[in-house]
Amino acid sequence: MTETIKDVRFDGTRFFVEDENGNRKQVFPQTILEQIIGLDSLRSVRGYPGPPGKVGKSAFETAKESGFPGTEDEFDQLLANIQINESTKRKAPTSWSLDRTTTPWTIRLDNGSTLQLNDYGQVASVFGLGSSPNLESATVTPVPIISNIIKAARGTLSIDLFKKTSGSNFNYYSPNYTINNPVQDVSIYDFTVATFGVTGDTYNRQWVLIKMLYELGIFSPADVESLGATKK
């Protein structure tokens, strides 16, 4: 006759099985090898479910306890707006491609912005055609100018490193440039008074790079104001 096991229990040192009539039998530990091996059959036995866990607080309940004054509908709308804003938020570029079908050539950035250097329409060295800039190097270089922009966006070049570079590295940042679809509005600042404080800048173009980095969402308002940009 096959024994029908109803329950399995463990008292901390021993396993018991209980049949449908309520009879219990110790199954481990045992002194008979066959009985120990027979524990494999217990793996398929389903025990009683435990008590339900405690229901946690909702995000709205937690917010209310923290001082949120609105209703649950207002809270849900707030969360929805945050998610929309975060998904549509413009960010600084981290990569680019060179479009040579336009005059001047166009640097197309991966954040949707474009940059045209109107004084250097098809100058290969300035645009980086035929070169492979080292984007891992924490060094400011004169050309291609896009390499300094991308390295600043990635955090490889800091403001302090720009302050320590040579003035000749700013020579190709002509103010005659065009950025389409910018991340930030440059019209609220006077950038002509901004500077990294580098001497030997022949053409006084440090402010142009500062303006570009702000316009592309790389420098923050606090950054440019610390470098001397003033609100209009």
pLDDT recorded at residue 195: 98
Average pLDDT over residues 29-48: 52
Q: Is 74 part of any domain? A: no
Average pLDDT over residues 88-116: 93
Same domain? For 15 and 110 the reply is no
Same domain? For 27 and 106 the reply is no
Length of the chain, please?
232
In which domain, by residue range, is 127 found? 96-231
Same domain? For 115 and 197 the reply is yes
Same domain? For 26 and 140 the reply is no
Same domain? For 224 and 136 the reply is yes
Same domain? For 12 and 116 the reply is no
Same domain? For 207 and 109 the reply is yes
Same domain? For 125 and 208 the reply is yes
Q: Omega into 221 within 30° of 0, i.e. cis? A: no
Q: How many CA atoms lie within 13 A of 109 on its CB side?
A: 27
Mean pLDDT, the chain, as a whole number?
A: 84
Q: Show Cβ contacts of residue 116 under 8 Å, excluding neighbours closer than 6 positions.
A: 102, 104, 105, 106, 107, 177, 178, 179, 180
pLDDT recorded at residue 43: 54
Same domain? For 106 and 220 the reply is yes
Average pLDDT over residues 210-227: 97
Same domain? For 117 and 204 the reply is yes
For the stretch 40-85, pLDDT in tens is 555 555 666 777 777 778 888 877 787 777 788 877 777 777 665 5
Q: Is 146 part of any domain? A: yes
Same domain? For 101 and 213 the reply is yes
CB 217 within 8 A of CB 89: no
- Is it the case that residue 116 has pLDDT exceeding 60? yes
Confidence of residue 1 (pLDDT cuts 50, 70, 90): very low
Average pLDDT over residues 73-99: 78
Q: Is 137 part of any domain? A: yes
Q: Is 113 part of any domain? A: yes
Q: Is 84 part of any domain? A: no
Burial of 50 (0-12, 13-18, 19+ CB in 10 A): exposed
- Is it the case that residue 6 has pLDDT exceeding 80? no
Confidence of residue 32 (pLDDT cuts 50, 70, 90): very low
What's the CA gap between 150 and 218, in Å, rounded?
Answer: 9
Q: Both tokens of residue 164?
A: 């320590």
Q: Is 194 part of any domain? A: yes
**pLDDT more than 90, % of the chain:** 60
How many independent structural domains does the chain possess? 2
Same domain? For 227 and 115 the reply is yes
Q: Is 12 part of any domain? A: yes
Higher pLDDT, 112 or 29: 112
